[in-house]
Chains A and B, each alone.
Chain A
Amino acid sequence: QKEVEQNSGPLSVPEGAIASLNCTYSDRVSQSFFWYRQYSGKSPELIMSIYSNGDKEDGRFTAQLNKASQYVSLLIRDSQPSDSATYLCAVNRVSSASKIIFGSGTRLSIRP
């Protein structure tokens, strides 16, 4: 089982709709969760961080965390073509050496 799992996609969403990206993790004691966006050929950029159960909103982005079910999701409202990218879920694993583990990423495509 991978430590951080994501559906690789591609996920195709019409412009203006809500894109929903999901991620599950295996280390139950993980405390910090992040979503990064990566355009092709570029390095990842941080979109959201979330540390406690519930929702966290920042503009068009909402991160949702459910530690009991060990999943974290990212919602993108009013999707724009510029949102087309690979979205990486990352988890700070603290059960052994603290380090951030990335999922394989979900490719999101916003169709006009």
Chain B
Amino acid sequence: GAVVSQHPSWVICKSGTSVKIECRSLDFQATTMFWYRQFPKQSLMLMATSNEGSKATYEQGVEKDKFLINHASLTLSTLTVTSAHPEDSSFYICSANGGLPRESPLHFGNGTRLTVT
């Protein structure tokens, strides 16, 4: 149980273009999903908390206009990297907890490796 699917697993795009990453909970409903970013040899950094039916909550230093998050249903959250630049190249990982209770652990998607040329 608690399977999280993320797509695509990797993407290469040119500077200035936008990239959309999808995160789906396959066997449970996720009112909250989390988006992380990880640079090589560094830890996971929480970017934002995606809330179904409402605005995402962004961590300090994360540009909400650059990283657009949409959580339109209980099983799907999307992250769009707008006007991507080479410094946005990173490993993006979504996660959700397996439903109630709130303290249950996070389960991660397989991640999306973004390369901006």
Q: Give chain A's interface residues, CB within 8 Å of chain B.
A: 31-32, 34, 41-46, 49, 51, 88, 90, 92, 94, 97-105
Give the 6 A-B CB pairs with smallest separation, nearest first.
A32-B103, A104-B43, A43-B111, A43-B108, A102-B44, A34-B105
- For chain B, which range describes its interface: under 10, 10 to 19, 20 to 34, or 35 or more residues? 20 to 34
- Total number of residue pairs linking A and B with CB closer than 8 Å: 50
What string of 1s and 0s marks CB contacts (under 8 Å) between B79-117 and chain A?
000000000000101000000001111111111010000
* B67 contacts A by Cβ under 8 Å: no
* B46 contacts A by Cβ under 8 Å: yes
List B residues 30-63 near A (Cβ within 8 Å).
34, 42-44, 46, 49, 57
Chain B residues, Cβ within 8 Å of A46: 105-107
Q: Report the separation of the CA atoms of residues A102 and B106 in the bound assembly, to the nearest whole angstrom.
A: 11
B102 x A98 contact (CB < 8 A): yes
Q: Tell me the nearest residue of chain B to A4, going by C-beta.
A: B43
A-B contact list, 20 entries, CB within 8 Å: A32-B103, A32-B104, A41-B91, A41-B113, A42-B110, A42-B111, A43-B6, A43-B93, A43-B111, A45-B108, A46-B105, A49-B105, A90-B105, A97-B49, A97-B57, A99-B46, A100-B46, A100-B106, A101-B46, A103-B43
